[in-house]
Structure 1
């Protein structure tokens, strides 16, 4: 039986005019457990959110003022897919009003994450920050972390479109963090290696490398390569459409309602029973 309107989780979307924001609007308008109450975008004022997402009119006009939108619509959750320059301010405003942020925007620092945890606990609500909402990508991270116990020589190559603002990606950083938990730190490569072109060996994390490829025509892929005597292991995940992130967003939105403080990464929510929400 579908939840009544009063039982549904009330959703506001920041970055509603972006490609991910429009997918979240579709999710909020079609998931029986959710209801869209606000859409915020700096450049789409007054546009109906349903039409913006390529659906029928829904009666929710896009607002340019986040705080005003939160006060007027009283959502339970703010889903944020904006840009690194504004995401922290959005989260602070959201938490101030008791609205739980679910953040897919990358570029947050460790200090930012600590601040979000502190603010959320003080307010008694949950916050979710996820470098990637794809279930397949989360599995790729888990498999890579497990492989690192047995094959500690590793490099990460991540591929995104040419307009991505941050490098390396949040997904690759999260993967590196999980690998580092299962791998004793040591510096890979020849001890006397020299970069003829600065940066050609990639970014250094805990003794291993992350390489970022940025080209038009690419959506989002990541490959984790392990090397050993006489063998290699490659763990790769490919995303082809933003709709693939929405099952993970749905899980995060529903689970953040019962959390207190920061949850970093939706792998903490992925049990077999959660797949009923996909």
Structure 2
């Protein structure tokens, strides 16, 4: 096994301290065994031997002190600094990872959740609410004649219209609803714990709010409308089939003249 440099230094320090302790114990034994005879004539060698033991103890303790101060302490300080840098780097990388993950799940233009987030949330909601037997509603919205807006007024106005619709959706939905931009001019709202009648009323309120929202940029002011397709999960179908059923209702709303809700 290979030891870290600071670990090796610690073992050396402990060894020196143990040696000093052993010498001290030996000196105590000499002192207790020959104490009364230290001052007798001809016994000076005992005192000299004891003095050498005490001197050796002092040298070992001084060595341990200097070794600790000049070598071990700098090693500890260096290791603490390295650990601090490592923690800071780890925290920075973790924050960056969370930022990248958030960016991967967020639509850059509107700040809403994107299609990836929505697909994952749809599966999780169906599993969770299926276990407790509660309904899950799905609303798919598509802005009407949006290509004409881009062709007539430019993509900047089109982007402003998308942001306005996103703000309208955020303002009308509940905190536990999942609101996402699926791509282009298509949005989706996942509405847990809401039956068909309530979902239709909710969708109509959103449709009217979008139609009443004015998109303004410079001297240009316009309004957009949305067609909405609805479905309530039957408790058995897959997430893909559930989405497909709501999407079919969206196309039905388009065929019936747009700016309407179909369920």
Give TM-score scaled by structure 1 length.
0.24
- Scaled by the length of structure 2, what TM-score is found? 0.25
User: By percentage of residues, which structure has more strand?
Assistant: 1
User: Which structure has the larger Rg?
Assistant: 2
Identify, as 1 or 2, the structure richer in helix: 2
